[in-house]
Chain A
Amino acid sequence: MKMTGAQAIIKSLENEGVEVIFGYPGGQIMPVYDVLLDSKIRHILTRHEQGAAHAADGYARATGKVGVCMATSGPGATNLVTGIATAAMDSIPLIAISGQVATHVIGTDAFQEADTTGITLPIVKHSFLVKDPADIPETVAEAFLIASTGRKGPVVIDLPSDVSRGELDFKVTEKRTRLPGYKPTTAGHARQIKAAAKMILAAKKPVIYAGGGVIAAGASNELRELSRLLEFPVTTTLLAKGAFPETHRLSLGMLGMHGTSYANYVMMEADLIVAVGARFDDRITGRLDTFAPHAKKIHIDIDPAEIGKNVPVDVPIVGDARGVLKELIAALKPLEEGRRKGLSAWHEQIKKWKKEYPLVVPVGDNLKPQFVIDEIYRVTKGDAIVVTDVGQQQMWAAQFYKTTKPRYFISSGGLGTMGFGLPASIGAKIGRPEATVVTITGDGSIQMNSQELATAVLNEVDLTVAIINNGYLGMVRQWQELFFNRRYSHTNLRRGESPDFVKLVEAYGGTGMRVFSQEEVEPALKKALKTRGPVLIDFIVEQEENVFPMVAPGASLDDMIGG
């Protein structure tokens, strides 16, 4: 069938099952927008391309599908960059389609020309600059394959306007991909799995350390099964919150810089760490040369480059977490007799740590941020998709909102992108309309993409946006307090002067509330959850509350402030 490049792009996206594109039009992408008008694909017009990228990312994290965002050339594309980098750091499947100037003027500094594939080179899994309309069907098929398989990640398709205007013969049946260099390993090596099983059975102080890969692979059930079978405690990273129910007796919650003390003590005392879909990031290990000195390490990961990158590993298993865990369970099942007794001393020790160093909501007359999060947890019955921003509120959300299911906690981990929360929430809610979505953000972070309130209002996106308003760029202020002699250089946001968040959301046509005291929290939340459209609650909390426990940067993981 003869069609234009723009038609071919949209047709290919339809063929991939794309339901929604988050985007923003402009000159060089106009041919595609013109075709989009007649497509069954829904388009959400954000108010900033960064919002579009984060929304597509939030959609992907909430649904497990590939998120798609689109922008014009030049400034449109550069506005996507933070969103692409955010997705790359957290291995999120994202397709970013950017307009580009016509092929014959590429390289001439034409109007709104930017070298998009060049700029995004270090932050994509792969990218395409399409030079010929005939390549479009194959390019889109390859982009989806690359984004959604192996270690997932963002793929950029840069589309010059003459290519989207040009013609091609689209063969309906064709969904070819030609990627001779792309063969992600998915099945774990049988001998390695056997070796891991043997090591697992010899352990006296084991722990499973689960990362975002468990959620990406859909391996939460297998993780639970493995833990149950072996009675192994499980700690998760920020990105893996919900991969294992945090209400489970074997859960240690989150580990790392602001993890639970007991999770960190367990890591440091363990004689075996089973790492699944995690990458021993510096926020997890603390000081590397003192990290987990007694532990043998089994590392299961889809990306061979992660194995041995930061920490030497005893048994590496490259493969998809779900498949590998399945096989590991199968290998262990016949051998499991009498296992449980051997670990009782370890479980006793863990119980002691949990009792001695619990995570508790601090008491006080003022409104404590932790209290607000705890109330959100209680009022939503732990059943909301929580999307966070970056800073103290993010860490409090991670500590106090116990997540029990995968894809119910969404946060920018690797890049730590302030401004992620609101647009990602919009994407999450659009992908999962049946779910309650709560955004936990800060007075700093919300202002980085507050324009997306318009997107939420106009698309009737039901959201509860909780601003943990401490009047500061709190996390930076905390570091200034602890490591810079309380010299608060440019972190005071002058709460009460500007902006008035309630008026702000009202100006956009949403609902605003302000909460000062503990008693007001529950009624406000209940009201918000019943109200249609976005509701923003400005929680005026204790200004100089700190996130503890904390492993200072460069300190050993068991050297915790307030732990």
Chain B
Amino acid sequence: MKHTLSVLVENKPGVLARVAGLFSRRGFNIDSLAVGVTEKPEISRMTVVVDVEEHSLEQVYKQLNKLINVIKVIDLPDANSVQRELVLVKVKAEPRNRAEIIEIVEIFRGKIVDVGKGTLSVEVTGPGSKLSAFEELLRPYGVEELVRTGTIALPRG
């Protein structure tokens, strides 16, 4: 099962290594991990998507809380949170299917951010599942390069 954890940490050197090390050491699989500053400069937020069973999730949660630099760990169930991710895709675009691709991008409320010789670079944001669907639709045209930021999330309300 996938779970999104929001981990508030002290913005200090080495914190990322402590968090990442904990996951690998205890055998928890990370799907994605995104780190960034928060409204308070001394605090960073790590958004971690883990793929674990309920029992292991509890261990992840407790072990994270044991790290001295971790201030708070919040489990963010899909229903109670806003989750976003950004994908950048460079897709092959022959003149004959350019219009088709642009149409798909528009449906996904994406943006063309770069136009190259025979390629289009596209940006889309949304929940991870939406980005995956988008990826699938572009694949037949030939995806040259792709990068995703990993999920970031905030609790609703």
Contacts and interface: CB of A to CB of B under 8 A. Distances in A.
Interface in B23-50: 25
A493 to B, nearest CB: 34
Given A121-B17, A122-B21, A180 B10 contact: yes
Nearest to B62: A305
A271 B55 CA distance: 24
Contact of A125 (B10, B14, B68): B68
Given A146-B68, A182-B68, A305 B59 contact: yes
A125 B70 CA distance: 13
A187 B66 CA distance: 17
A121 B67 contact: no
Nearest to A125: B68
A118 B10 contact: no
Contact of B71 (A122, A125, A181, A308): A181
B69 A181 contact: yes
Given A180-B10, A305-B62, A309-B59, A118 B17 contact: yes
B71 A121 contact: no
A129 interface: yes
A129 B66 contact: no
B65 interface: yes
B18 interface: yes
Nearest to A181: B71
B58 interface: yes
Contacts of A181: 9-10, 67-72
Contacts of B59: 305, 309
A354 B68 CA distance: 46
A146 B69 CA distance: 12
A1 B119 CA distance: 66
Given A129-B14, A181-B9, A304-B62, A121 B68 contact: no
Contacts of A118: 17
B66 A121 contact: no
Interface in A267-308: 303-305, 308
A42 B8 CA distance: 41
B132 interface: no
A305 B58 CA distance: 8
A134 to B, nearest CB: 15
Interface string B6-22: 00011001100110010
B10 A122 contact: no
A117 interface: yes
Contact of B68 (A126, A131, A303, A308): A126
Contact of B58 (A121, A122, A303, A308): A308
Contacts of A129: 13-14
Nearest to A126: B68
Contacts of A363: none
Contacts of A309: 59
B46 to A, nearest CB: 13
Contacts of A303: 66
A37 interface: no
Contact of A121 (B18, B65, B72): B18
5 contacts: A117-B14, A122-B21, A125-B68, A180-B10, A181-B71
Given A122-B21, A181-B9, A305-B62, 6 more contacts: A122-B25, A129-B13, A179-B68, A304-B62, A305-B59, A309-B59
